[in-house]
Amino acid sequence: MSGEFDLVVAGSGLAGLSAALTGARLGLRTLILTGDVLGGQLLSINQIDGYPGFPDSVAGYDLCPMTQEQAVAAGAEIASTTLDGLAAQDGGWRLAIGEGEVMARGLVVATGAALRILGVPGEERLRGKGVSHCASCDAPLLRGKAVVVIGGGDSACQEALTLAESAATVTILHRGSALTAQAAYRDRVLQQPNIIVRFHHVAEEILGDSGVAGVRIHDTASGQRTEIAAAGIFAYIGLDPATAFLGGAVTLAKDGRIPTDAALRTALTGVAAAGAARAGFAGRAAAAAGEGATAAIAIANYLRHDRWRD
Ligand code: NDP
């Protein structure tokens, strides 16, 4: 693929699709680079709670095509490829994408973040054999069985609640002394009869030969080590931003995310960032959509006034 675009959006989660929708509606020739899969993480979210306009929640796999269709109807084009690198050229950006290149006058980086892995023995070997990152996909396979969820934040609690609908028991292992999830999830988890929360517990090894059979756990308060049986293991211990492709073009924040100003402009002229790849992202689907729109507007203002900073 080749061509010249006013706006290229890297990433096709809610932030990316919203940026493309807004850019196209503003009359910018807009291209979305989808990344490996259109929608990314959004596709594996069974239930997005608290998204305005959907009081009964909405599935990520429904919201993604809806927003994509809206962006395409507004005029955005889509390329199923990743953004692999960027170089300044002629006042814009030459973007390396898969096999080809495109020129962008403005770029929105909305590449999101990937679920962090535990890094314990057994995790890679048993991935897809009981070690999973998609509770809604694998819950039906684990009906009536014992499963373990690791983490104490919104994702761990939300996914534990999803699993508890079909699993016999869900054990949450949390390294801290209190769940950090928003009250709406935390309270439901603590009241759910088949969810057991073990505080001060970490997973040390995932056990099993051809499939997950259990986890070796460490109680960091007592020092005791035991094994518990489980057929499925789900680690939700935070997200790592997908920013490596920037290759030092931008000085990243300590957590690997991209710093921006309040208008979501990065230190690079004509490059804005939105969503989970951005430092300071509020971690809500609604925030991702809002940031995408804000970032596209930053690019539109730049192209109109030929001035990046105020
Ligand atoms: P968070 O970073 O919010 O939470 C990660 C959890 O994992 C914490 O409990 C943390 O413990 C624990 N943890 C981190 N590293 C390790 C480790 N190595 N071993 C064991 N435990 C570990 O990530 P989430 O994925 O929960 O959420 C990401 C973002 O998405 C957040 O902003 C969240 O609010 C948002 N989100 C929003 C939802 C919604 O609004 N409906 C639903 C799901 C997610 P500790 O506290 O000790 O660091």
Provide the 3-class DSSP secondary structure of residue 138.
helix
CB proximity list for 59: less than 8 A, separation 6 or greater: 45, 46, 47, 48
Residue closest by Cα to atom 25 of ligand 1: 238
Q: Is the CB of 50 under 6 A from ligand 1?
A: yes
Last residue within a domain, chosen from 196, 215, 235 = 235
Residue 23 lies in a domain: yes
Domain count, the chain: 2
Same domain, 195 and 211: yes
- Averaged pLDDT for residues 64-69: 96
Percent of the chain with pLDDT over 70: 100
Tell me the pLDDT tens digit for each residue of 205-234: 999 999 999 999 999 999 999 999 999 999
Residue 73 lies in a domain: yes
How close is the Cα of 249 to the center of ligand 1, in Å? 28
How close is the Cα of 68 to the center of ligand 1, in Å? 27
Closest to 7 (Cα-Cα) out of 110, 96, 108, 86: 108
Cβ–Cβ under 8 Å, residues 173 and 149: yes
Same domain, 109 and 97: yes
CATH code, domain carrying 206: 3.50.50.60
Same domain, 211 and 252: no
Same domain, 159 and 265: no
Same domain, 108 and 254: yes
Residue 310 lies in a domain: no
How close is the Cα of 179 to the center of ligand 1, in Å? 10
Annotated catalytic residue: which of 84, 134, 219, 240? 134
Confidence of residue 40 (pLDDT cuts 50, 70, 90): confident
Residue 251 lies in a domain: yes
Cβ–Cβ under 8 Å, residues 129 and 232: no
Provide the 3-class DSSP secondary structure of residue 8.
strand
Residue 228 lies in a domain: yes
Same domain, 121 and 110: no
**Mean pLDDT (the chain, rounded):** 96
Same domain, 101 and 149: no
Residue 209 lies in a domain: yes
Same domain, 256 and 218: no
Query: Residue 58 pLDDT > 80, yes or no?
Result: yes
C-alpha angle 235-241-244 in degrees, rounded to nearest 5: 125
Same domain, 43 and 142: no
CA distance 61 to 72: 17
Query: Residue 270 pLDDT > 80, yes or no?
Result: yes
Q: Is the CB of 149 under 6 A from ligand 1?
A: no
Same domain, 164 and 227: yes
Query: Residue 247 pLDDT > 90, yes or no?
Result: no
Tell me the pLDDT tens digit for each residue of 169-179: 999 999 999 99
Q: Is the CB of 200 under 6 A from ligand 1?
A: no
Residue 28 lies in a domain: yes
Query: Residue 145 pLDDT > 90, yes or no?
Result: yes
Confidence of residue 309 (pLDDT cuts 50, 70, 90): confident
Cβ–Cβ under 8 Å, residues 59 and 162: no
Annotated catalytic residue: which of 137, 187, 255, 261? 137
Residue 110: give the domain boundaries: 4-114+239-305
How close is the Cα of 60 to the center of ligand 1, in Å? 18
Same domain, 105 and 129: no
Same domain, 156 and 254: no
